Amino acid sequence: MRKRIFAAFVCLCMLMALVPSMAYADDTVYTGGLCEHHTQHDESCGYTEGTAEIPCSHEHTESYGGLTDPTACHHTHDEACGYVPATEGSPCTFVCEVCNAQDSGDEATPSDAQPEECTCETLCTEEEVNGDCPVCSAEGAELDKVCVGVAPMLLKTTFAAGNGKAIQLGTSALNENANTDNAATIYFGKNGADQPTSWLVIGYDGSGVVSTQGDMTLLAASTMGVVKFDSDGPSNEYVTSDLKIAIEALAEKLTAEENAAVNERTLTSGSFNGENTDCVAGAQVDDAAFWPLSTAEAFAVNEDLRIADKEHQSWASSWWWLRSPCYAGNVAAVVDGGGNVNINITIGTVFTEYGVRAAFHLDVNSVLFTSAAESGKSSGDVGAGALKKVGDYSGNEWKLTLLDNSRNFSISNMAINSNGDTVGFSYSGAQTGANEYISVVIEENGAITYYGRILQLDGTTNAQAEQQA
């Protein structure tokens, strides 16, 4: 009978172990800490479940101290008796700052009230929190967990190189993308049709293609006419070629100021050397202002920039001559419409008409300003109200204002009036004409912020003037 009662007690203990239990400590009830913001326990909250004791199934007999004295039993727990001691659980330490904030400190709010909901449409950040949202504006709210707003689309503003202004000092705006598919375009000189010529920056201040310190290398953005390499050939010597004549005719279209900004170079003589051919056949050429690229220089140009006309790559005008020889005496190197440099095939025979695409070196120290190709130097009406704020510019096409060393213009006797709003000055040596002006720029921290033409020089060489600041 005792055995049956004891066995029933053991079964009851085992059944009780299957009933969910709460752990109590210091009169605080830990219900697991779960809520809509913490729906599952994890390592960070520290929660572990306790286990109930599994009682010993050992039956006391005479061999363990006698039936009449259970306290004298010598049995020790082992695998056979199945005894497992109880273990204490660890409470969840997670404190929901949202739910806690809604219940704490307000006795008038019942503990079973519905929790507040996030009302944000835009995702809150630590720098910008929606003060009208009862959830996100709660002190200590974990915004990355409780805010249901949508992250705003980031609007990317692209500025031009340099300081992003439409007028910039010097040529720094032209440097950053040299010889890339986003290379700056410069308008300088005129082509065979007497139209402004656009050039691509392929080298700058010693980097990129055939550039040296203090200059930048410019390659015509497209071909500037077509010509046979040598109509009197067969010869691929550059010094006597029709190509050289056409290139020099383009250089002759430069104004005196433009020509003074060009750094001439020598085109050395040599022989065919595969992709490394960096010469002309025959005699060298001295003092070349404009020149065709060599084979080695063409290979160094960004492949996308080598394409002269993307829409008409099969046209003869989209192919262009190089100054270097090929493997045969009557063949010169040529770049095809797809931008491929051809040095070992007969398509470069000197009697074929291909495009003329010049390059040259520009002295960076000859450039006063770089301005946006369209409306860069925008002035108000000539006079006191001429100054206009220089706007931002995200384009990639530029014009240059060159230093003219042939002029003797000078400013003297500059003075600011007592109110500090007007600058007076004297000028001398001015060159007069219909398109001659005295222009003013205001520079702040290295950036030109205002520009304007304050005086037209229509006949007065030496005079005094003033400008309201």
Q: If you average pLDDT over every residue of the chain, what do you get?
A: 80
Q: What's the rounded mean pLDDT across residues 342-359?
A: 86
**Contact 295/309 with Cβ under 8 angstroms?**
no
Q: Considering only residues 260 and 90, tell me which one the structure prediction assigns the higher pLDDT.
A: 260
User: Which of these ranges, 160-169, 171-180, 290-299, 325-334, has the smallest mean pLDDT?
Assistant: 160-169
pLDDT attached to residue 306: 97
User: Which of these ranges, 341-350, 433-442, 456-465, has the smallest mean pLDDT?
Assistant: 456-465
Q: What's the rounded mean pLDDT across residues 111-137?
A: 80
Tally of CB atoms within 10 A around 401:
15
Q: What is the pTM of this model?
A: 0.63
pLDDT band with cut points at 50, 70 and 90 for residue 42: confident
d(CA 180, CA 157): 21
Closest CA to 335 of 321, 352, 346: 321
Q: 168-202: per-residue pLDDT in tens?
A: 999 988 988 999 999 999 999 887 677 889 999 99
Q: Considering only residues 435 and 398, tell me which one the structure prediction assigns the higher pLDDT.
A: 398
Bridge partner list, 424? 415, 466
Cα distances (Å, whole numbers) of residue 349 to 297, 415, 420:
20, 67, 71
pLDDT at 463 over 60: no
**Can you list the pairs that 198-204 forms with residues at least 24 positions away whose Cβ atoms lie under 8 Å?**
198/222, 198/397, 200/305, 201/174, 201/175, 201/177, 202/178, 202/301, 202/302, 202/305, 202/359, 203/178, 203/179, 204/171, 204/174, 204/175, 204/178, 204/364
Q: Highest mean pLDDT range out of 150-164, 352-366, 374-388?
A: 352-366
Cα distances (Å, whole numbers) of residue 367 to 288, 378, 403, 453:
21, 19, 6, 19
**Contact 330/349 with Cβ under 8 angstroms?**
yes
Domain boundaries, the chain: 1-94, 173-364, 373-468
| pLDDT > 70: percent of the chain | 79
Both tokens assigned to 452 = 């304007």
**Contact 90/46 with Cβ under 8 angstroms?**
yes
Q: 82-123: per-residue pLDDT in tens?
A: 777 777 778 887 777 666 654 444 444 444 445 688 888 888
